[in-house]
Amino acid sequence: MVAPELFHEFPEVVSLAVKLSAGEPLDERDKLALRELVSATGWRADDVGEELRSLWVDPSERVGRYRELFESYYREALEAVSRDSRQAAEKLWGCFVVDV
């Protein structure tokens, strides 16, 4: 169910997803790709990893998980607003990435 464009445009993401799904160790290039995805999405590394391991699953089957992620990141953003606006903004970005 993975879009063919993903294989051509982001082969490192597909390679990372395959390794995570198979439980294979990650090399430095994989770790760099994972860090970049964490930075781009605003998600925690474990959430990005779970999403990559589920890359082959129809997204409509993961609606409940996406709702959990949205609510978690949104709640964390609201909690962070008064103490760290940058962290709050990153959490808000994370919850909107989920919602897309």
Express each pLDDT in 27-68 by its tens digit: 999 999 999 999 888 889 999 999 999 988 888 898 999 899
End-to-end CA distance of the chain: 18
State which residues form the domain around 91: 60-100
- Indicate whether 46 and 91 sit together in one domain: no
Read off the DSSP letter of residue 59.
G
Please indicate, yes or no, whether residues 72 and 92 belong to a single structural domain of this protein: yes
One domain, residues 16 and 46: yes
The count of residues in the chain is: 100
Residue 17 has pLDDT above 60, yes or no: yes
Q: Is the CB of residue 90 less than 8 Å from the CB of residue 44?
A: no
Same domain assignment for residues 50 and 97: no
Both 14 and 3 in one domain: the answer is yes
Give residue-wise pLDDT tens across range 75-92: 988 998 889 888 888 888
Based on the fold, state whether residues 42 and 85 are members of the same structural domain.
Answer: no
Do both 17 and 53 map to the same domain? Answer: yes
